[in-house]
Amino acid sequence: MEREIITTADGSKTIQIKEWNEQYHSKHGAIQEAYHVFIKNGLDLFEHQDLAILEIGFGTGLNAFITLLEGSKKCLSIHYVAVEAYPVSVAEISQLNYVEELDALEKQRDFEKLHSSPWHEASSITKDFTLQKEQKDFNDIQSSSQFDLIYFDAFGARVQPELWTVQIFEKMFRALKNNGVRVTYAAKGSVRRAMQEVGFEVERLPGPPERGKC
Ligand SMILES: C[S@@+](CC[C@H](N)C(=O)[O-])C[C@H]1O[C@@H](n2cnc3c(N)ncnc32)[C@H](O)[C@@H]1O
């Protein structure tokens, strides 16, 4: 499917799938959404420990990059596994402006390493951040009691309803350690019920603010 780079309301870029009218991040702000959903309501729950994170949908690497930045501020040691079936291209990566927008020019090399690191093996991106990218379908996730935190960042149920099902949520539940946390951006009733059915305790949190609103 045709992909196009677009600019979201906070100035950060994302990828749009035109045929689906679906973006990799919110049009209201890619960086803003990533921070709100995955850092504020996910990573920030963890303090000073070794952390294993599973990202379902690596895409542009934005979530991985902000996790690397924030993890380093909090002195976390992170092992990050990211699953992705359709990697973004080098040409697409070169058009993303996350390093500039996050004012993280000294971490440019780390952002590049997130993308250039090999698939299917663990790579040290920094001394405290290891990345293992897995090029495979979400249906093939077979981990068990391995992760403290899961970022579930698939496309929405409107376009990929098959990924918001009991079958996929069971895989995530199995992949989490006891008391693990899974965060996502969707709050639809049917999705919530499917999560509860596999055993998740579900908490609905306020969404990110839209630009221009207080
Ligand atoms: C919403 S985007 C992820 C955005 C990403 N977290 C980021 O920060 O850029 C969803 C991602 O899931 C991937 N994807 C969609 N269906 C998939 C499947 N069945 N298995 C694996 N990856 C899939 C897409 O290629 C896309 O990169």
Ligand 1: nearest atom to the Cα of 154? 10
Residue 148 lies in a domain: yes
CATH number of the domain at 101, please.
3.40.50.150
- Quick check: CB of 63 below 6 Å from ligand 1? yes
Within a 10 A sphere around the Cβ of 134, how many other Cβ atoms?
19
- Per DSSP, the residues of 152-213 read E-PPPTTT-GGGSSHHHHHHHHHHEEEEEEEEES---HHHHHHHHHHT------PPPPPTT-
Residue 189 lies in a domain: yes
Q: What is the pLDDT of residue 183?
A: 95
Residue 205 lies in a domain: no
Is residue 122 classed as helix, strand or coil in its secondary structure? strand
- Quick check: CB of 59 below 6 Å from ligand 1? yes
Q: Which residues pair with 17 in a beta bridge?
A: 3, 22
Q: What is the pLDDT of residue 210?
A: 59
Q: In which element (H, E) is residue 112 found? A: helix 108-116
Residue 36 lies in a domain: no
Residue 14 lies in a domain: no
Q: Which domain holds residue 107?
A: 41-198
End-to-end distance of the chain based on CA atoms, in angstroms?
Answer: 37
| Per-residue pLDDT in tens (0 to 9) along the chain, 214 residues | 899 999 999 999 999 999 999 999 999 999 999 999 999 999 999 987 899 999 999 999 999 999 999 999 999 999 999 999 999 999 999 999 999 999 999 999 999 999 999 999 999 999 999 999 999 999 999 999 999 999 999 999 999 999 999 999 999 999 999 999 999 988 788 899 999 999 999 988 877 765 333 3
- Quick check: CB of 185 below 6 Å from ligand 1? no
Residue 212 lies in a domain: no
DSSP collapsed to 3 states, 3-51 = EEEEECCCCCEEEEEHHHCEECCCCCCHHHHHHHHHHHCCHHHCCCCEE
Dihedral sign, CA of 46, 51, 52, 57? Answer: positive
Q: Which amino acid is at 152?
A: F
Instruction: Report whether 153 contacts 55 (CB < 8 A).
Output: yes
What are φ and ψ of residue 92, in 5° steps?
Answer: -70, -45
Residue 53 lies in a domain: yes
Q: What is the pLDDT of residue 212?
A: 39
Dihedral sign, CA of 163, 46, 200, 122? Answer: positive
> Between the CA of residue 168 and those of 51, 57, 92, 159, what are the distances in Å?
22, 13, 28, 16
Q: How far apart are CA 134 and CA 119, in angstroms?
A: 6
Ligand 1: nearest atom to the Cα of 62? 8
What's the structural domain count of the chain? 1
Q: What is the pLDDT of residue 211?
A: 37
Ligand 1: nearest atom to the Cα of 86? 25
- Quick check: CB of 184 below 6 Å from ligand 1? no
Instruction: Report whether 180 contacts 147 (CB < 8 A).
Output: yes
> Ligand 1 centre from 143 Cα, in Å?
18
Q: What is the pLDDT of residue 42?
A: 96
Residue 2 lies in a domain: no
CA 103 to chain centre: 20
